[in-house]
Structure formats: C-alpha cells, structure tokens
Amino acid sequence: MTASMIILLIIIFIALVLFTVDIFPAEIVALAIMLSLILTGILPTSQAFEGFGSDTSLMILGVLLLTTALVKTGVVHLLSGRILSRVGKDENRLFWMINLVVSGLSAFISNTATAAFFVPVTIGISRRLHVNASKLLMPLAFAAILSSSVTLVATSTNIVVSGILTDHGLKGIGMFELTPVGIPILVVGLLYMYFIGRHLIPLRSSDSNEEMRQGLLAYCTEVSIPNKSAWVGKTLENLKLGQLYDLTVLRIIKKGAPNIIPRGQTVVSPGDKLLLEGSRDGILTLANQSFVEFTGNPEEDQAEKISQDLKLAEVILMPGSRLIGRTLKGLNFRQRFGLQVLGISRKGKTIRRRIASTALQVGDQLLLQGDPDTIASLGSDDSFRIISSKVEAPVDTKKAPLAIGIFVGVMLLVAFNILSLPVAVLLGTLLVFVTGCVTPQQAYHSASWNAWLLISSMLALGKAMEETGLATVIANQLVTRLGAFNPLFLLGAFFIVAMLLTQPMSNQAAAVVTIPIAIQTALLLGLNPRTFAIMIAVGAATSYITPLEPACLMVYGPGNYRFMDFIKVGSILTLLIFSLAMLLVPIFWPL
C-alpha cells in the first residue's frame, strides 16, 4: 500500500468521523475533503474540480432548479388542498392520501422538498382532526424516502451512481430503469407502515410547543422605568439584560407612542414600560435591584396581555436554511426579522435558558412572537415553514400547469432517449425561466445549493480512490476473502455497507465511497458491475434506522420521537427492503 493510499484512508476515516458527529454541515465536510486531496497532492487541481463541471453536477443542478419551480408555482400547494378536501375524518384514509401523494411527488422531485412542504400541512391536518401527529409524520418521512428507487431523478444519489457508471465507460441509468425494483419497495414499504409500522410508534403528544407557550408566558413580566433609574438614557444593548439577568425585552411602551419593537439601539426613557421574558431566577434577581418598578404579577395578567397584543406562531427550520448552525444572537434575529423568539423546541424538548446562544439545527421548532404581517412574510422565506399560524404568504398557482407541463416534457424526452438527462433538465430550467414560472433570483435563492456542493465536492473522493489504486486494493481484498462465497453474498455485503454508511454520511457520499470498490470487485470476479451499482443505489437510499436523513430530521421534533423509535420501526422496514433487493436486483440485472 502506497503513501498516497494511506493518506487517503486517513482522510476517509476523518471524514466518516466528521459526518457522524455532525459538528459541521455535510457540504462543508465534503468541501474540506476535496481541498485536502489537493493540498496533500493526491489529486491535481484540475481533477479535483472536475466534479463541478461533470454531467452529474449539471444534472443535479437542473433537477434542483426544476424542483424549485414546481414548489414556487404552487404545484405542491394545489395537491395539499386536494388532500384537505377529500380526507374527511377517516384516519386510515388520511394515512393513504398523505403518503400516496408524498411518495408520488418524491418519485420526481426531491424527497426533502416534498417532506418540507407536507410536514406543516400534516401537522395542521392532525390538529384539526384531533389525530396524534406522531402517527402520521414518521410514515410521511418514510414514504418520501421509499420513492428513491422509482425513477432516476427521485434522489440525487441515483444521478451520482449513474454518473459514476458513465465515468467507468458503462451506460448510465435510464429514467425508469430502477422502477422494477423501486415500485415493489414502495408498495411493500407503505403496506408495512400501514399494517405494522405506525402501530409501533409510541403515542406521545406532539404539540410540545403548547407546553412551551404556557411555560414561557408564565415567566413574563412588565416593568416601569422610574425617573431616577440608572437605566435612563441607555440603550437596550448597553443594559446587557441577556447577559446579566437572562432576560429579553419583548415590547416597549412609550408615553404617547404606540408599542415599538425593541432594538439594540432603542434608548430607555423615564416612564417607559418594558415587557420582559426570561427565567424566574432572572426576574427575581432584577426585582432585588432599584432599576425598575414591577407593574403586575408576572404569572397572572401578563400572559393574557401578550396573547391579545402580539401574534404567536410556530415555525420549523428547513434543510438548507441559512440559520442552521448559527445562534439567534449571532444572527441578530430580532433586528433582522422584526420578531422575537420565545422558545425553541428540539426533538420534543423545550430549550428555555440562553436560547440566544443555542446553535440552531434542522427541524428545530421556534415559537415566534410579533406583528402578524411580519410573521406572514416568513411564508415566502425558504428558511422557515409556518406550522400553527394561520397567516401564510399566498401562493400564486396560475403557472402551475405550465410548470407541470415542462417537467413532464423533460421526463418524456429522457424516457424516450431523445435527449440526455443533463441536456433535458437544463432545457427545462431554461423554459421555466423564460416562461416566468420562476425567476432566476427565486430559483437561486431557494435551490438546495448545499446538496449540489456536497455532491460535486464528493465526486473528487471517488476519483482519488481510482487514481491512487485504493479501490482496486480494497476490491482485491474482498475478492480474496469473499470471492469463494456465492456472488449473492458479496452483493448483499455491498448493500449492507452502503446502508450503514448512509446513516452518518449523506446518501450520495456513501455511494461515492462504495461504488468504485464495487465496480473493481465485480470486474475482478468477472461479474456484472451494473448489478452492484444498482444494489448500492438501493442500499444508499435505505435511511430508516436513524433520524439523520433530512426528511426524518424534519419530523423528529414535531413528532416528539426518540432515537430508538426509528430503530424499532425502521429496522424491520430495512430488512424488508434488503430482502426485496436481494430477490429482484439479480433478476433484472443478472450477475
């Protein structure tokens, strides 16, 4: 084994650790991997950057932009409206309506985008029909992922696999080539979730923010500023209420003026009334000072005042949100958005203390307070999805039929081999821009650039495994140790490896790491490399035993799930998919 191989193994090991501990976003880890390959001399710059100009990268870019057009023109919005009008109060019918629509959409657009839209829709429906949301949200997330093998564009992982096959001189995956194995997986998965899976989900209250509301409102109080207070003439920033007392100013009432939204540079004047929120200890500490005079009981009348004067709303942070990994303090959230965060609910637990210094994560539920119009404007911001507030930005659906027509046209061009997928999706992107379905600015703002950066960067790792010969060395070891066994045993081993890697890593990264090894192994044994590539594509999409898949992260908090819930429900589903793959893949792609 050469020095380059050893260095590459070290890079891969560090990458696995970073993907697992989730200190940095996956796309940042992928970018670091690519740069480390350049700096260590494993790959020249030109080869390391090839991924960004590859067919795979362009295909993913086009699919992301087309998906954005479908969302922005209200296609998903129209479908959700149909669900609401048809479900009635039948919980079983609700299950099938939601999951059939979600799985159908996810076969053609990003499962993350589909889940992002339907999570708040499902929560709203469950509350209206008094159905426990935890029974609906995990099946929804699983339904979105189950469609991953129905079409080539169902997930970017399939596009990555297709691109790697092309790079090795093999034919890329056809638009519906995966369908013979994808449809059975989808059908069996939905039947399992209906008859068994949903009954394994514990019944827990998913409305954790109701408790959060009550808890936070109980710790609000109103104070008045005396004429001789040391606070007079100082700005809120100078007072450092958060640092000294763990308190936040929600509202300021000035004499002869309407209520104003507190800003860091707002100057405190005699007679001002401040509505404060924070911990009981912080309020009691302030009560022992002479800076303010308390005007009422913080646990009686203030909660009612807040409810009457200010609007409350719950929102979920979406994957790709610019808030992920940052703190409210670092974002200057109140000044930037004109809203106050009263609390954060994460994985079913309420974070109350020092929320300003808490790094935000995908799926966090934020309890916001502010002007109704300001809250409504969040509906057009892709960083958030409003759950409980009834004010939401209207969706213009006039061009929805046009967007659908363009998308279907792209799929047909590829299905009948009239155009290659990269050309077809970029043509579709041009058409949605020209027809005004979505503006370039909207598309660039809303597209999941983190997914594109992750995949384009990780392609360099696959290239490095080939250039250094590491893929061949590992393949030789597998042949030596497992070659004597039935080829089906080896095929199953690659499914398991891809499935396990996709839990801490992204699906695409898991595919990039395993496929070069699988192709070399197949060639050395005289087997069909396409069979192994298809098996890895299916295995890399089997992300059910942990909540680390973006679609699962979005339901983790709202559904009030526990980590073990996914292991309990997802393990059986994973075994079913493994069994189907082992049965069907060798039939349709003979070894």
Closest CA to 56 of 176, 178, 152: 152
Q: What is the CA radius of gyration of the chain?
A: 26
438 against 578, higher pLDDT: 578
Position 158 pLDDT exceeds 50: yes
**Domain contains 243:** yes
SS3 state of residue 311: strand
**Domain contains 279:** yes
Residue with tokens 């992928």: 30
pTM above 0.85, yes or no: no
Position 348 pLDDT exceeds 70: no
**Domain contains 408:** no
Query: In this structure, what DSSP letter does residue 170 have?
Result: P
**pLDDT at residue number 299:** 42
Contact 428, 421 (CB under 8 A): no
At 223, which helix (H) or strand (E)? Answer: strand 220-224
Contact 505, 27 (CB under 8 A): no
Residue type at 166 in one-letter notation: T
Closest CA to 455 of 61, 149, 9, 20: 61
At 94, which helix (H) or strand (E)? Answer: helix 91-106
Position 114 confidence tier, pLDDT thresholds 50, 70, 90: confident
Give how far Cα 51 sits from Cα of 161, 310, 443, Å.
13, 50, 22
* Beta-strand pair 365-370/340-346: antiparallel
Winning range, highest mean pLDDT, from 8-17, 42-51, 179-188, 223-232: 179-188
Position 220 pLDDT exceeds 80: no
End-to-end CA distance of the chain: 30
404 against 503, higher pLDDT: 404
Closest CA to 252 of 230, 269, 237, 233: 269
What is the rounded CA–CA span in Å between residue 453 and residue 126? Answer: 36
Position 304 pLDDT exceeds 50: no
Per the rule left: phi > 0, alpha: psi between -120 and 50, beta: everything else, 493 is alpha
**190 HSE (CA, 13 A, CB side):** 21
Position 482 pLDDT exceeds 80: no
Those residues whose C-beta lies under 8 Å from the C-beta of residue 420, and which sit 6 or more positions away, are 55, 414
**Edge-to-edge strand order for the sheet containing 273-278?**
247-253, 273-278, 220-224, 293-294
**pLDDT at residue number 587:** 96
Position 565 pLDDT exceeds 80: yes
**pLDDT at residue number 233:** 92
Those residues whose C-beta lies under 8 Å from the C-beta of residue 134, and which sit 6 or more positions away, are 201, 202, 203, 204, 206, 559, 560, 561
**pLDDT, tens only, 425-441:** 899 999 999 999 888 88
Position 175 pLDDT exceeds 80: yes
Position 196 pLDDT exceeds 90: yes
Domain total of the chain: 1
Q: Which domain does 255 fall in, by range?
A: 219-298
Position 320 pLDDT exceeds 90: no
SS3 state of residue 472: helix
**pLDDT at residue number 218:** 44
What is the rounded CA–CA span in Å between residue 419 and residue 268? Answer: 66
275 against 215, higher pLDDT: 275
Those residues whose C-beta lies under 8 Å from the C-beta of residue 542, and which sit 6 or more positions away, are 495, 498, 499, 502, 574, 577, 578
586 against 72, higher pLDDT: 586
Residue type at 475 in one-letter notation: A
The token pair that represents 471 in the structure block:
């893929």
- Burial label, 180 (beta-carbon count in 10 A; 0-12, 13-18, 19+): middle
Query: In this structure, what DSSP letter does residue 267 have?
Result: B
Winning range, highest mean pLDDT, from 178-182, 288-292, 519-523: 178-182
What is the rounded CA–CA span in Å between residue 524 and residue 438? Answer: 49
Extended strands (E) in 285-430? 293-294, 311-317, 340-346, 349-351, 365-370, 384-386
**pLDDT at residue number 31:** 92
Position 193 confidence tier, pLDDT thresholds 50, 70, 90: very high
Position 119 pLDDT exceeds 90: no
**pLDDT at residue number 391:** 45
At 248, which helix (H) or strand (E)? Answer: strand 247-253
Phi, psi of 327 (to 5 degrees): -100, 160
What is the rounded CA–CA span in Å between residue 136 and residue 243? Answer: 41
Residue type at 265 in one-letter notation: Q
Closest CA to 67 of 410, 417, 507: 410
**pLDDT at residue number 50:** 87
Contact 25, 324 (CB under 8 A): yes
Give the mean pLDDT of 505-532: 88
Position 301 confidence tier, pLDDT thresholds 50, 70, 90: very low
What is the number of other CB atoms lying within 10 angstroms of the CB of residue 53? 10
Contact 381, 320 (CB under 8 A): no
**Domain contains 227:** yes
SS3 state of residue 367: strand
DSSP string, 558-585: TTT--HHHHHHHHHHHHHHHHHHHHHHH
What is the rounded CA–CA span in Å between residue 580 and residue 591? Answer: 16
**Domain contains 270:** yes
Position 298 pLDDT exceeds 60: no
**pLDDT at residue number 250:** 79
Residue 231's CATH number: 3.30.70.1450
**pLDDT at residue number 337:** 83
Average pLDDT, the chain: 82
**Domain contains 506:** no
Position 575 pLDDT exceeds 80: yes
Closest CA to 316 of 357, 367, 258: 367
**163 HSE (CA, 13 A, CB side):** 29
**Domain contains 41:** no
**Domain contains 262:** yes
Angle at 501 between CA 499 and CA 505, to 5 degrees: 120
Position 392 confidence tier, pLDDT thresholds 50, 70, 90: very low
What is the rounded CA–CA span in Å between residue 476 and residue 560? Answer: 46
